[in-house]
Amino acid sequence: MRDFIISTESNADLTEDFISSNDICVIPHYYTIEEQVYGEEQVLTDREFYDAMRMGKSVATMASNPAVIQDKFTRYAKEGKDVLHISFSSELSGGCGNVIMAANEVMEEYPDMQIVVVDTLSASLGEMLMIVKALELKKAGKSIDETKELLERLIPHICVQFTVDDLNHLYRGGRLSKTSALIGTMMDVKPILHINMDGKLVALSKTRGRKKSMNTMINNMIERLGEWKDKQLFIGILHGDCEQDAGYLEQLIREKLGDVKIVTQTVGPSIGAHSGPGTLGLVFMGDYR
């Protein structure tokens, strides 16, 4: 059985320590600030990125580069390794399609190589949940095909919900009309959004006030946990440079679930460019999304 490595994209929001300690291949997605491109050799810290947004600078995102993907996969082909790629939702970015295109090119040149792509229909720490499971399965001696099959069974159970602090970022990203953003801001509306079964970002509910939105996400999680309550790999907290609110969300989780493993991570630019500073998210496994 050939050895395989696990790859993903930068919008999985993995830490450098996690990447290096688990030998994860990370394919960059790109972002621009005032037309300056970042994402590969040149990057900003999370604080620098969100401060640029707070200052009103023009921010945009771009998917991965097929040529870069092909170079990375070719390196593993030359080492005699296969690749299991765990991808950002194909419904939220063209990145998954770019990976498949590059993978086909490499496999045509190296027919002994296998590149398997898993479309998580998820994002950020939702991808990380599947990466952690993939690492567990690989360590247990599962083949690349067995690992793919078991991961795909998890996809309907990866729950990603989040709320935003400033509706104007959703408006700029085309997720909300200008009128809705204006009225919602005046009424302190905090929408709860989630990634649905099709991998699309849709509104789940609306609340008024920041703490109410956090409590609503916790209640949504408790409703969905079902048979997964005691089978969590971890519960993820995502934040757009708002550590204090992330700490409050962790407190709410521990009040409900006790000493569960929690991973807290800043939302990276690929998602943060559309949701903005103050984004707060919750990631877990449940009976349904």
The pLDDT tens digits of the residues spanning 149-187 come to: 999 999 999 999 999 987 666 656 555 555 554 445 555
Lookup result for tokens 């567990």: 136
Predicted confidence at residue 183, as pLDDT, reads 47
Mean pLDDT of the chain: 92
CA dist., res. 263 & res. 250, Å (int): 10
CATH, domain 4-155, list 3.40.50.300, 3.40.50.10170, 3.90.226.10, 3.40.50.1220 = 3.40.50.10170
CATH 3.30.1180.10 positions along the chain are: 157-285
- At the topology level of CATH, where does 157-285 sit? Hypothetical Protein Tm841; Chain: A;domain 3 (3.30.1180)
Q: Is 217 left (phi over 0), alpha (psi -120 to 50) or beta?
A: alpha
CATH 3.40.50.10170 positions along the chain are: 4-155
pLDDT tops 70 at residue 229? yes
Range 36-62 average pLDDT: 91
> Which residue did the predictor score with more confidence, 22 or 185?
22
CA dist., res. 61 & res. 272, Å (int): 10
Predicted confidence at residue 185, as pLDDT, reads 56
Predicted confidence at residue 181, as pLDDT, reads 47
Using pLDDT thresholds of 50, 70 and 90, give the confidence band for residue 87. Answer: very high
pTM over 0.85: yes
Range 248-265 average pLDDT: 96
Using pLDDT thresholds of 50, 70 and 90, give the confidence band for residue 98. Answer: very high
User: Which two structure tokens, joined as six digits, stand for 159?
Assistant: 């729950």
